[in-house]
Structure 1
Amino acid sequence: MPAQKNKGTVCLFHGGFWKMPYDKSQLDAVAVKLVENDFAVWNIEYRQVGYLPQGYPETFIDAIDAINQLAPLSKKHPQLALRPLYIAGHSVGGHLSLWLGNHKARLGEHALAIIPYVFIGLTPVIDLVESYRDIQRQEFITAFLGCTPDENRDIYHHTSPIALLPAQGKQVIFHGEHDEVLPIGEIDDYARQARQKGTPVELIKITRGTHIDFCDPDSPSTSRFIYWLNAQSESQAV
């Protein structure tokens, strides 16, 4: 929590291929930087491959339930501002963030009870089928979902942000032009398809930005992200 003024709450989902031993500590320093900029931060952990045999469906349920937990928390801590509420995730955490922004992002009785201001992807995974086709990402995808696209196309359809377009919420994607893990061409394709289906996506490209930049609180990529958040706060205050 910030010491004084609260510009809103930022929820963070960390990356790391949806697998252990990666955890929310990846974004601890970024969380501190956000608090220094007067944002409250909810740095989220979720069950991953290694703790579970596979991530589906528990990882998605954890993502939903973690956001919904903010409502009872705000009653205990009135200084916790849920308006505006930003959902942001790095890499596979960005996949979870953008997945939550779709109207079909529910599992059984699990669905978002809070409507965020915006869903943000920081170099996000947006197409699980395309990721499966990439030999460097294939094993992580199959371990996460527990199947290949040929074995269960429905699971891929219900968990891949690009397959769920149009989205129900505002989306913003920050992506490094030199991202060595997720080619920016995949993000360009996502933004194009989203716009064609009536979902405006604000795509902010980071010159010379790389994939891991968003774990560094002082990188130009993270600074651009925080600058954008501050600009939103200023525009809402007018």
Structure 2
Amino acid sequence: MTQRHRHHYGQDPSQWGELFLPDLPAGARHQGVVVVIHGGYWRSTYGAELGAPLAKDLAEQGMAAWNLEYRRAGNGGGWPATFEDILAGIDKLADLVEPHALDLRKVVALGHSAGGHLAVWAAGRPKLEGLVLGEGGQVDNSSDGVRLTGVVSQSGVLNLAEAERLNLSDGAVANLLGGPSSEFPGRHRIGDPMAALPLDLPVYAVHGIKDDDVPLSMSATYVDASRAGPVPAQLVMVPGDHFALIDVTAEAYLTCRELVGRLLR
């Protein structure tokens, strides 16, 4: 049976995650954790209910999964709260090691759409050293923070500058960052996964061939830009539309699940 445990990592009602766990033999530990980060163009219309079926399926396949909720634009999120929550939500796993027998030597993020952006952005956390994330605060890059060891991006918005230029989802990027890049160039640079390249961990940029919501260029330009790095990202094309990637019965999702399992091995 799958166990489910909800934990808060802050005082806001949106600062929580739900840990989905498979049963283990007595004395055993879970081998790694998958952080599931939902999409919805960073808006409050969508929440962690999008990630719950994925986390449940991963647990049924023997993987520990942390379905992460966070403040979104429209409910206290945006800049810098959404970004701070992703880092704090991942770091919360350190508090859950003993009560839930977690092993954090491998922590893989699985993020869909805007969640793909946040997952790949979080993977670049070490590159944010010394950069101010929000007014009045620094990014926490302390050595005891939980680091991602791999990412599977599911049609992620991985190129914020291009997403702004294309005006995806009626200004979603400016809505997230509090204004256009002409007004807030620092925010747009820090918030763009492209700015953290090259990374030293594997990223699979999975994209549906019939995706009309997030253009293929979001994944393709990121992968192209990563090629000079020590661990180039890989573009993986799958059948289906934007939502096939989070349909646990679809081939597109099953490919993502297989890649997650590969990263945990």
For the criterion TM > 0.5, the same-fold answer is yes
Give the unaligned 5+ runs of structure 1: none
Partner letter of residue 260 of structure 2?
Answer: L
2:155–2:214 contact (8 Å) kept in structure 1: yes
Residues 92-101 or 190-199, more deviating: 190-199
Distance 1:14 1:204 in 2: 19
Q: 2:156 aligns with which of 85, 110, 124?
A: 124
Distance 2:168 2:221 in 1: 20
1:184-215 CA distance string (max 9 Å, x none): 13322211111124441122111x32111122
**Is structure 2 residue 91 aligned with structure 1 residue 68?**
yes
Q: Which residue of 2 aligns with 1:17?
A: 41
1:171-190 CA distance string (max 9 Å, x none): 12111121111221332221
Distance 1:221 1:64 in 2: 27
**How far off is 1:130 after superposition?**
0.9
1:44-68 CA distance string (max 9 Å, x none): 000011112x501011100001111
Structure 1 residues 139, 185: CA separation in 2 closer, same or farther (over 3 Å shift)? closer
Give the secondary structure class of the aligned counterpart of 1:110: coil
Between the two proteins, what is the percent identity of the paired residues?
27
Q: Which residue of 1 aligns with 2:254?
A: 223
**Is structure 2 residue 114 aligned with structure 1 residue 82?**
no
Distance 1:229 1:146 in 2: 33
Give the unaligned 5+ runs of structure 2: 1-20
Aligned residue pairs total 231
**How far off is 1:170 after superposition?**
2.2
Q: Which residue of 1 aligns with 2:232?
A: 200
2:159–2:221 contact (8 Å) kept in structure 1: no
Q: Which residue of 2 aligns with 1:145?
A: 177
Distance 1:184 1:139 in 2: 18
1:180–1:211 contact (8 Å) kept in structure 2: yes
1:127–1:163 contact (8 Å) kept in structure 2: no
Larger relative helix fraction: 1
Q: Which residue of 1 aligns with 2:15?
A: none
Q: Which residue of 1 aligns with 2:24?
A: 4
Distance 1:183 1:109 in 2: 30
2:159–2:219 contact (8 Å) kept in structure 1: no
2:120–2:151 contact (8 Å) kept in structure 1: yes
Question: RMSD of aligned C-alpha atoms?
Answer: 1.9
Distance 2:154 2:196 in 1: 19
With structure 1 as the length reference, what TM-score do the two structures score?
A: 0.90
Partner letter of residue 24 of structure 2?
Answer: Q
**Is structure 2 residue 237 aligned with structure 1 residue 214?**
no
1:7–1:38 contact (8 Å) kept in structure 2: no
Distance 2:121 2:196 in 1: 8
